[in-house]
Chains A and B, each alone.
Chain A
Amino acid sequence: MYPIFRTAAGLALAALVCAQTKPDFAKDILPVFEQSCSGCHGAKSHMGGLRLDGRAAAFQGGVSGKPVVPGKSADSLLYQRILGQGGQARMPMGAKPLDPAQAELIRAWIDAGADWPESLGSRDAGVAKHWAFVAPQRAPLPAVSNAKWASRNPVDRFVLARLDKEGLAPSPEANRATLLRRLSLDLTGLPPTPAEVDAFLRDKSSKAYEKQVDRLLESPHYGERQARHWLDAARYADSDGFEKDKPRWVWFYRDWVINAFNRDLPYDRFLTEQLAGDLIPGATQEQIVATGFLRNSMINEEGGIDPEQFRMEAMFDRMDAIGKSMLGVTIQCAQCHNHKYDPLTQEEYYKIFAFLNNAHEANVTVYAPDEQRKRAELFAEIREAENDLRHRNPDWPQRMAAWEAKVRPGQPVWHVVKPSVDDISTGGQKYLPKEDGSFLAAGYAPTKHRAKFTTETTLSTITGFRLELLNDPNLPRGGPGRSIQGTGALTEFEVEIAADGNEEKPKKVKMVRATADVNPEEKPLDTIYSDKTDKKRVTGPIGYAIDGKAETAWSWDIGPYRRNQPRKAVFVPEAPVELPKGGKVIFYLSQQHGGWNSDDNQNNNLGRMRLSVTGSPDPTADPLPASVRDIVDNAPPAKRTPEHEHAVFSFFRTTVPEWREANENIERLWRQHPEGSTQLVLNERNQSRSTSILMRGDFLKPVREVTPGTPAFLHPMPEPLRTEPTNRLTFARWLTGRDSPTVARTFVNRVWQNYFGTGIFATSEDIGRQVEPPSHPELLDYLSVEFMDRGWSVKKLHRLIVTSNTYKQSSSVTPDLAAKDPYNRLLARGPRFRVEAEIVRDIALSASGLLNAKVGGESVYPPAPDFLFQPPASYGPKIWKEEKGDARYRRGLYTFRYRSVPYPMLQNFDAPNGDFACVRRSRSNTPLQALTTLNEPLFLETARALAMKTLGEGGKTDAGKLVFAFRRCLSRAPEPQEKDRMLGLLARQTERFSAGQANPWDLAAADPAHPPQLPPGATPAQAAAWTVVARVLLNLDETITKE
Chain B
Amino acid sequence: MNHPLDVTRRWFLRDCGVGLGAAALQQLLAASSDPLAARKGHFESKAKSVIFLFMAGAPSHLELFDNKPQLTKFDGTLPPADLLKGYRAAFINPNSKLMGPKFKFARHGQCGAEVSELLPHTAGIVDDIAIVKSMVTDAFNHAPGQLMMNTGSQQFGRPSFGAWVTYGLGAETKDLPAFVVFSSGKKGPSGGNSCWGSGFLPTVYQGVQFRGSGDPVLYLSNPRGIDNEIQRESLDAIRAMNQRRLEVTGDPEISTRINSFEMAFRMQSSAPELMDIGKESKATLDMYGAEAGKPSFANNCLLARRLVERGVRFVQLYHEAWDQHGNLVKDIAKNCKDTDQACAALVKDLKQRGLLDSTLVIWGGEFGRTPMVQGGSDGRDHHPNAFTMWMAGGGIKPGLTLGESDDLGFNATKNKVHVHDLHATLLHLLGFDHLRLTHKFQGREYRLTDVHGNPVKELLA
The answer on a CB contact under 8 Å between A298 and B156 is: yes
CA distance A925 to B144 in the complex (A): 31
A592 within 8 A of B: no
The answer on a CB contact under 8 Å between A813 and B263 is: no
**List of A residues within 8 angstroms of B225 by Cβ:** 998-999, 1001-1004, 1024, 1027
The answer on a CB contact under 8 Å between A928 and B193 is: no
Kindly supply a per-residue 1/0 record for chain A positions 1028-1043, scoring 1 wherever the CB is within 8 Å of any chain B CB and 0 otherwise: 1001100111100001
Chain B nearest CB: distance from A428 CB in Å? 6
A899 within 8 A of B: yes
6 pairs of residues in contact across A and B, judged by CB atoms under 8 Å: A423-B92, A815-B250, A823-B3, A865-B218, A872-B318, A925-B256
The answer on a CB contact under 8 Å between A926 and B204 is: yes
Chain B nearest CB: distance from A658 CB in Å? 57
User: Which chain A residues numbered 845 to 902 have a C-beta less than 8 Å away from chain B?
Assistant: 865, 867, 871-876, 899-902
User: Which chain A residues numbered 980 to 1033 have a C-beta less than 8 Å away from chain B?
Assistant: 981-982, 985, 988-989, 992, 998-999, 1001-1004, 1008, 1024, 1027-1028, 1031-1032
Candidates A242, A874, A901, A936; contact of B143 at CB < 8 Å: A242
CA distance A523 to B405 in the complex (A): 56
B224 within 8 A of A: yes
The answer on a CB contact under 8 Å between B250 and A818 is: yes
Residues A925 and B249 in contact in the complex (CB < 8 Å), given A930-B264, A935-B221: no
A340 within 8 A of B: yes
A763 within 8 A of B: yes
Chain A nearest CB: distance from B180 CB in Å? 12
* Residue from B6, B251, B325 having most chain A Cβ neighbours under 10 A: B251
Chain B nearest CB: distance from A377 CB in Å? 44
B33 to chain A: closest residue by CB: A822
Kindly supply a per-residue 1/0 record for chain A positions 907-943, scoring 1 wherever the CB is within 8 Å of any chain B CB and 0 otherwise: 1001001011000111111111111101111001000
The answer on a CB contact under 8 Å between A823 and B185 is: no
A902 to chain B: closest residue by CB: B193
The answer on a CB contact under 8 Å between A928 and B90 is: no
Chain B nearest CB: distance from A317 CB in Å? 8
A273 within 8 A of B: no
The answer on a CB contact under 8 Å between B248 and A1002 is: no
Known: A934-B234, A1024-B225. 15 other contacts (CB 8 A): A300-B141, A300-B144, A304-B89, A305-B90, A313-B155, A763-B442, A823-B1, A901-B192, A922-B203, A924-B203, A978-B241, A982-B241, A989-B230, A999-B225, A1043-B249
The answer on a CB contact under 8 Å between B192 and A245 is: yes
**List of A residues within 8 angstroms of B90 by Cβ:** 303-305
**List of B residues within 8 angstroms of A330 by Cβ:** 442-444
The answer on a CB contact under 8 Å between B264 and A934 is: yes
The answer on a CB contact under 8 Å between A306 and B88 is: yes
Residues A873 and B209 in contact in the complex (CB < 8 Å), given A899-B192, A927-B260, A1038-B245: yes
A741 within 8 A of B: no
B39 within 8 A of A: no
Residues A871 and B186 in contact in the complex (CB < 8 Å), given A302-B142, A934-B264: yes
Residues A931 and B230 in contact in the complex (CB < 8 Å), given A765-B442, A925-B253, A1037-B257: no
The answer on a CB contact under 8 Å between B260 and A926 is: yes
**Dominant secondary structure of chain A at its interface with chain B:** loop
Chain B nearest CB: distance from A855 CB in Å? 29
CA distance A925 to B141 in the complex (A): 36
User: Which chain B residues numbered 41 to 66 have a C-beta less than 8 Å away from chain A?
Assistant: none
B340 within 8 A of A: no
* Residue from B233, B318, B444 having most chain A Cβ neighbours under 10 A: B444
The answer on a CB contact under 8 Å between A875 and B187 is: yes
Chain A nearest CB: distance from B2 CB in Å? 6
The answer on a CB contact under 8 Å between A1035 and B238 is: yes
The answer on a CB contact under 8 Å between A913 and B234 is: no
The answer on a CB contact under 8 Å between B3 and A923 is: yes
Stretch at the interface among A101-109, A158-166, A680-688, A767-775: A767-775
**Which of under 10, 10 to 19, 20 to 34, or 35 or more describes the interface residues of B?**
35 or more
**List of B residues within 8 angstroms of A448 by Cβ:** none
**List of B residues within 8 angstroms of A1024 by Cβ:** 225
**List of B residues within 8 angstroms of A930 by Cβ:** 257, 260-261, 263-264
CA distance A916 to B375 in the complex (A): 37
User: Which chain B residues numbered 197 to 238 have a C-beta less than 8 Å away from chain A?
Assistant: 197-198, 202-204, 208-209, 211, 217-227, 229-231, 233-234, 237-238
Chain B nearest CB: distance from A1029 CB in Å? 8
The answer on a CB contact under 8 Å between A1032 and B253 is: no
User: Which chain B residues numbered 358 to 379 have a C-beta less than 8 Å away from chain A?
Assistant: 374-375
CA distance A1008 to B223 in the complex (A): 13
Chain B nearest CB: distance from A196 CB in Å? 23
B242 within 8 A of A: yes
Chain B nearest CB: distance from A768 CB in Å? 5
Residues A874 and B187 in contact in the complex (CB < 8 Å), given A832-B251, A1028-B234, A1036-B245: yes
B382 within 8 A of A: yes
Kindly supply a per-residue 1/0 record for chain B positions 250-273, scoring 1 wherever the CB is within 8 Å of any chain A CB and 0 otherwise: 111110111011011001100000
CA distance A1003 to B203 in the complex (A): 33
CA distance A923 to B184 in the complex (A): 31
B297 to chain A: closest residue by CB: A872
Candidates A340, A424, A981; contact of B444 at CB < 8 Å: A340
Chain A nearest CB: distance from B366 CB in Å? 11
Kindly supply a per-residue 1/0 record for chain A positions 604-617, scoring 1 wherever the CB is within 8 Å of any chain B CB and 0 otherwise: 00000000000000
B252 to chain A: closest residue by CB: A818
Candidates B188, B190, B245, B443; contact of A873 at CB < 8 Å: B188
- Nearest first, the 7 A-B pairs at minimum CB distance are A304-B90, A900-B192, A1003-B225, A770-B443, A871-B187, A243-B190, A930-B264
B157 within 8 A of A: yes
Residues A768 and B203 in contact in the complex (CB < 8 Å), given A872-B186, A978-B244: no
Residues A924 and B251 in contact in the complex (CB < 8 Å), given A981-B237, A1028-B234: no
Residues A1037 and B217 in contact in the complex (CB < 8 Å), given A243-B190, A305-B141: no
B191 within 8 A of A: yes
The answer on a CB contact under 8 Å between A920 and B193 is: no
**List of B residues within 8 angstroms of A765 by Cβ:** 441-442
The answer on a CB contact under 8 Å between A915 and B188 is: no
B194 within 8 A of A: yes
**List of A residues within 8 angstroms of B220 by Cβ:** 931, 935
A133 within 8 A of B: no
User: Which chain B residues numbered 267 to 294 have a C-beta less than 8 Å away from chain A?
Assistant: 267-268
B93 within 8 A of A: yes
Candidates B208, B211, B268, B381; contact of A304 at CB < 8 Å: B381
B7 to chain A: closest residue by CB: A922
The answer on a CB contact under 8 Å between B157 and A1037 is: no
**List of A residues within 8 angstroms of B248 by Cβ:** 812
CA distance A358 to B318 in the complex (A): 40
CA distance A424 to B237 in the complex (A): 65
The answer on a CB contact under 8 Å between A935 and B142 is: no
Chain A nearest CB: distance from B401 CB in Å? 30
**List of B residues within 8 angstroms of A867 by Cβ:** 211
CA distance A915 to B195 in the complex (A): 12
Candidates B1, B204, B254, B444; contact of A333 at CB < 8 Å: B444
Chain A nearest CB: distance from B236 CB in Å? 8
CA distance A937 to B237 in the complex (A): 21
**List of A residues within 8 angstroms of B217 by Cβ:** 928, 931
B177 within 8 A of A: yes
**List of B residues within 8 angstroms of A758 by Cβ:** 1-2
The answer on a CB contact under 8 Å between A981 and B251 is: no
B91 within 8 A of A: yes
Candidates B224, B245, B318; contact of A1003 at CB < 8 Å: B224
The answer on a CB contact under 8 Å between B375 and A424 is: yes
The answer on a CB contact under 8 Å between A241 and B156 is: yes
The answer on a CB contact under 8 Å between A931 and B264 is: yes
Candidates A306, A832, A927, A981; contact of B240 at CB < 8 Å: A981
B162 within 8 A of A: no
The answer on a CB contact under 8 Å between A875 and B189 is: yes
* Residue from A305, A907, A935, A978 having most chain B Cβ neighbours under 10 A: A935
Kindly supply a per-residue 1/0 record for chain A positions 275-296, scoring 1 wherever the CB is within 8 Å of any chain B CB and 0 otherwise: 0000000000000000000000
CA distance A871 to B257 in the complex (A): 34
